[in-house]
Amino acid sequence: MKYNEIKHEVITVNDIDYLIRTLKDRQQFNDDDHRAEDLGISSATWPLFGVVWPTSRVLASVVSQESLEGKRVLEIGCGIALTSIVLHQMGIDVTASDYHPLAQEFLAKNILANDMQPIKYETGNWEADNPLLGNFDLIIGSDVLYEPNHAELVSQFINRHSGKNIDVIIIDPERGNRSLFTRKMEALGFEHHFERFNVPGSLETQCKGRILHYHRH
């Protein structure tokens, strides 16, 4: 698989700069070997993994301020995995996961560009069992509820990979599936509370929505 143009940008989280390699924009696409197509990833959604979305910046900022010492953390639908990179730099036991066939390659190059040791990565297929993943104390994600069926898929995936005491943080830019997802999580025994956020900025960086907190202890 090849892709077209890339870019490098410096993203600052908690006063630390990270050099991040991404696709140039959301118009890039090249699936010559049909790896993404074979996984059910359409040409319209192919580039979405390869850009840093505003919600991922919010997730990185929020989660990096949590008390995570001694906890196993899983980022689902990580894409460029900004939050995983930030937590890895902090010394947190974090595993990044995504379904896109190029996510791991981009993550490995970004880890190398920031002079870090290799990071844990596993393919995260929400529709299948992932025995190599194991269980976690905190599961995080940003903008992972963009399709109605994701409420069921994501909640069941989280349940399969939850430790005895589990916290979940999802950044939701008001996609409209929050209520259904919350009902699914409640049925699995999770309690919840939400916080609103509003990040002003340019058309590319402004973002508002809710920070979804779920916990089952």
Q: Which of 81, 110, 102, 90 lies closest to 8 in space, CA to CA? A: 110
DSSP string, 116-137: ----EEEE--TTS--TTT--EE
Calpha distance 64→92 (Å, rounded): 9
Type and span of the H or E element at 58: helix 54-63
Strand partners, 160: none
Instruction: Annotate 33-49 with b (16+ C-beta within 10 A) or e (fewer).
Output: eeebeeeebeeeebbbb
**Looking at residue 42, what is its pLDDT?**
53
pLDDT at 206: 79
What does the pLDDT read at residue 78?
96
Instruction: Copy the structure tokens of residue 96.
Output: 């990044």
DSSP of 131-182: TTT--EEEEEEES---STTHHHHHHHHHHHTEEEEEEEEEEE---S-HHHHH
Low-confidence ranges of the chain (pLDDT < 70): 1-4, 26-48, 201-204
Indicate the pairing of strand 207-216 with strand 93-98. Answer: unpaired
What pLDDT, on the 0 to 100 scale, is given for residue 3?
A: 56
Q: Determine the residue type at 52.
A: V
Q: State the pLDDT at residue 88.
A: 98
Quick one: which of 158, 103, 105, 111 has its CA closest to 136?
158
Token representation of residue 127: 């529709």
Give the start-to-end residue ranges of the domains of the chain.
49-216
Contact (CB, 8 A) for 8 and 20: yes
Query: What pLDDT is attached to residue 127?
Result: 85
**Letter string b/e over residues 68-102, b meaning 16 or more CB atoms within 10 A of that residue's CB:** beebbbbbbbbbbbbbbbbbbbeebbbbbbbbbbb
Superfamily of domain 49-216: Vaccinia Virus protein VP39 (3.40.50.150)
